[in-house]
A and B are shown apart, each in its own frame.
Chain A
Amino acid sequence: MKALCWFGKENISLETVDDPKIINPRDAIVRVSLSSICGSDIHLYDGVIPTMEKGDILGHEFMGEIVEVGDEVDNLERGDRVVVPFPIACGNCHYCHIDSHALCDNSNPNAWMAEQAFGYSPAGIFGYSHLYGGYAGGQAEYVRVPYADVGPQKVPEELTDEQALFVTDVFPTGYQACDVADFEPGSTVAVWGCGPVGLFAIQCAYMLGAERVIAIDHIDSRLSTARSECGAEVLHLDDDPILESLSEMTGGRGPDVCIEAVGMEAHGGGMVDWYDRAKQTLRMETGRPHALRQAIMACGKGGTVVVPGVFGGVIDKLPMGAAFGKGLTFKMGQTHVHRYVDPLFEHIQNDEIDPTFVITHRIPLVEGAAAYEMLQKKEDNSIKVVLTP
């Protein structure tokens, strides 16, 4: 089959590889009908996520049709149209039982390595480094899906593939960011980053009762999508004094919730940016946390900072004193997608949201490598690229 494979920093190509096969009794094989490229994939493309191996198959946002199931999978049949949550979860461990599927104890074959890096191991993830299990991803024609009796969810008939696809990741990621912030109706939410995750976070903040949502980015086209499609007030990173503006817009109180939907490669400026870049290059620091620092500084007293943006290792100069002094709450982590699939399908079916608004490019899988470059450079007003095998 054809698959997009990682070979190093800014080095991705379409390769012919073996078709996947059932390995464990709870596996299924999915023939991919649609996949997409995530901001998280761009971190891989930029080479800032450790433990990728040359030849790894990419992709964790995908859906398709069941073509084969293992002996222990009795809830799925050939022909079922399913979405597959990006974290791989067993459904049996303590964390799965409390619906924290991204923290599954059992799905990461390299748990020992994650324990060394993090203390305890999170779940495995499709196509997202060997620290997260080394599973082959879905930017391919076929994927092997472990614990298929738990992960894949059948798609309601009336939804198109494009409407259903983002329930695998970015939609629930935006939703979880708001859900875990647990804010009062009438709250003000500020969102850093107007990529797909940030855009969904804006929409979900309104769904969950926010009064105002203020979005921050430095790309005009994305800011205008945030304004026109999602109804956010917007601030431009390079033109607006962010901290002052946020304070001014909230009567001097600051936002109740600050969502960091940027991650470890934030755009920044000045001496501190230079320092972070140098340290990141030397691998003394693994992230450039400008947006996170700003979110902490901007957050109002007693507020909540939520970090769906991905971080991989160690970062410097976090204003801990500010977080402490203002009594902030932090929430973060990979999304417990399984938890949100059904409720989000319902929101789509009830026409409360049409997730396809983020799609800017529809491209065949064979042109996927070029799409990575486009997304990395944020060219051609790109926001979300979907790939058809």
Chain B
Amino acid sequence: MPRHSQTDMTREGQRALRSSSHTDMEPGLEMINWGSVLGGSALFAYGMIRRRGFTDMLFAGIGAALAYRGLSQTELVDRSLKRLALHTGSTEAIDVATSMTVECPPEEVYAFWRNLENLPQFMRHIVSVEAVDDRNSHWVARLPTGLSLSWRAEIIEDRENELLAWKSVHGSDIYNEGFVTFEPVFDGAGTELHAHIIYHPPAGQFGARIASFFEPVQAQVIREDLRCFKRLMETGELPTIEGQPSARSRDQGNGRYERLSP
């Protein structure tokens, strides 16, 4: 599975995920009408990227997967149906990895991250994270389409200043797992962050195609969230040009560059 080069600590993260018991996948994809075409959903997502900017795309893969399965969002109000749509029978996991170096010592970086309720400050699609107890947390995310998703995550490995690994627990809206490692650089003045988020695309050939379409988008979105994290930690603010003057009229936008394709 690991296609990314690894440090000792990221190997530890992979091991932590493997050794914890696997979250159940729910069967039943065959019950869903696959009907609509891949092209349609890909275009839908592409249009969304153009309009919203790729930073709104954290769950675009999921959004498109829903469209792909011919399910409307109103149908998805039914919780069991939503679960059915989002959980997949695929065994091929996709590991989206990205790294960022933060000019703060690992103790600070880890401490900020370990307080999970801080995470929505830079994970821009997470509405809230509520710590249920020391290991369990309740997450709420909102898709660009307005649909909200929630899940409960369990920390399955926690090594102070080094590693955090988590998994969503059975019964969540979406299945996800991942880990973040914190490694000292610049004589301990900086931290190398490696994040791996693992998700399971829809099964089958179409699924593989949709996954390969979205993998770079997902990686980029996670990268942008990490970048926000780095910037908040280092400078206390996020750079922006939104709201600055230009000789463009309002309907011509603010000139912010948005990514046009994954």
Contact = CB atoms under 8 A, between A and B. Distances in A.
Given A109-B256, A112-B220, A112-B224, A3 B247 contact: yes
Q: From DSSP, what is the main secondary structure of chain B's interface residues?
A: loop
Nearest to B232: A106
A113 interface: yes
A92 B259 contact: no
Interface stretch (B38-46, B84-92, B233-241): B233-241
Contacts of B101: 94
B244 interface: yes
Q: How large is the interface on B (under 10, 10 to 19, 20 to 34, 35 or more residues)?
A: 20 to 34
B257 A51 contact: yes
B124 interface: no
A124 B239 contact: yes
Contacts of B248: 53-55
B223 interface: yes
B246 A17 contact: yes
B248 to A, nearest CB: 4
Contacts of A107: 239
Contacts of B245: 1, 3, 17-20, 57, 136
A57 B255 contact: no
A51 B257 CA distance: 8
Contacts of A144: 244
A105 B230 contact: yes
Nearest to B55: A112
Given A92-B103, A112-B224, A17 B247 contact: yes
A24 B237 contact: yes
A133 B236 contact: no
A153 interface: no
Contacts of A72: 236-237
A105 B231 CA distance: 8
Interface of B: 54, 101, 103, 186, 190, 220, 223-224, 227, 230-231, 234-248, 252, 255-257, 259
30 contacts: A3-B245, A7-B247, A17-B245, A17-B246, A18-B245, A20-B245, A21-B243, A23-B242, A24-B239, A26-B237, A53-B246, A53-B255, A54-B248, A55-B247, A55-B248, A57-B247, A72-B237, A88-B239, A90-B239, A93-B103, A94-B103, A94-B186, A94-B190, A105-B230, A109-B239, A112-B259, A130-B255, A134-B255, A136-B244, A144-B244
